[in-house]
A and B are shown apart, each in its own frame.
Chain A
């Protein structure tokens, strides 16, 4: 056995937009163990529910109070969800390109992402934080001409995105950095509780959207899986999900019914509910317990990154030191969401 050394990674690191710290135990250039340490962004959001009233969180409350929202609102939420997925995956592709030093690819991904942000701004008023949902529906409606314009824009974009993603899928420099790196087998994915594209890249067919929340029940889509369980597979899955999102949005716009976008909700939530949603990064779980007042007893948010950290630790074991930044990125970390 060669001499072991410990290299600290993060919290501030060029590849990391957000702070997470890893203690990497190295034997020469190989990582033998990684110990994550989080907490740099822990704020205590779950505790805030005792001080702020429940109107800040929508879907779970609707579930506790048994509110059925109008169909049009369901479709609008679906469209915004998929637009979020589009921009999130493009953002991730960009960051990945940046991590292996393909600067121009990074810029192109982010350039395309800006078009989606413009659409968000046109439809909700915000670029990043939308504040468009409310209990009982949505605050703003998108009129049909706007929806048609969006579909036209997406049609144009799809062609551009295909050219871009071809680089990821066909360029040999990209393949050299990603293929066979960071393997998470199907068994390990279950054992370590991986979610989202991380899990699907390991060949597990599961997508929380298939539960049919919002308008997903009326929409026809396949679950995208990978087969090689490596970083390239995860990249491939996310790329295919981009085209899937285009498809879902087109279907949703074609099927969206006319009607109101919200219903009035009276009273305070009393009771408890679990809700699972498929976010761009994977399955998120919300658990809220109300007590009949305007403040909640408990709000629990389990974000996909939190579930993926154990898998990250697993894939880091045995990898090359130089691959660490890429592997950290392949789980699509959102540390801020994780620590709440």
Chain B
């Protein structure tokens, strides 16, 4: 059997709304991951509700500043700090902001 999952593309301005939606249905935040594209990044937010695997894709430019969802899902802080440190994605309002010192690596934004 192969697992089928949903992948919906949304605009970055709807990020918090989407997170609230997910919280409303009782899903848990499973992971956030970013992928470098030609002129920006793809952000992939994954949620799990029972056995359903729900994914949202947000494409942003290099200098787009997104909002943190730590106020909605507290466990997002690790993923968001990771994205900001490794990819150089600008994120505001992270609850526990390591200021790009989560891994404390020697090179700057290696995935950028």
Per the 8 Å Cβ criterion, residues 1-48 of B in contact with A are 1-3, 5, 26-31, 33, 35-36, 44, 46, 48
Residues of B in contact (CB 8 Å), total: 34
A-facing mask of B99-110, CB < 8 A → 1, else 0? 001111100001
**Complex contact B96–A35 (CB within 8 A):** yes
Shortest CB distance A209–B (Å): 11
B94 CB-CB contact with A under 8 Å? no
**Complex contact B74–A213 (CB within 8 A):** no
Shortest CB distance A89–B (Å): 23
Q: Is the interface of B mostly helix, strand, loop or mixed?
A: loop
B-facing mask of A284-323, CB < 8 A → 1, else 0? 0101010000000110101000110111000000000000
B-facing mask of A193-220, CB < 8 A → 1, else 0? 1110000000000100011110001000
B66 CB-CB contact with A under 8 Å? no
**Complex contact A192–B75 (CB within 8 A):** yes
Chain B residues near A213: list those with CB within 8 A.
1-3
**Complex contact A47–B111 (CB within 8 A):** yes
Per the 8 Å Cβ criterion, residues 63-111 of B in contact with A are 73-75, 77-78, 96, 98, 101-105, 110-111
Interface stretch among A24-32, A36-44, A226-234, A245-253? A36-44
B-facing mask of A48-70, CB < 8 A → 1, else 0? 00000000000000010000000
Q: How far is the CA of A287 from the CA of B43 in the complex (A)?
A: 12
Taking a contact as CB atoms closer than 8 A, the residue among B1, B30, B51 that contacts A193 in the complex is: B30
Quick one: given A212-B1, A307-B75, are A339 and B103 in contact (CB under 8 Å)? yes
- Chain B interface (Cβ within 8 Å of chain A)? 1-3, 5, 26-31, 33, 35-36, 44, 46, 48, 50-51, 53, 55, 73-75, 77-78, 96, 98, 101-105, 110-111
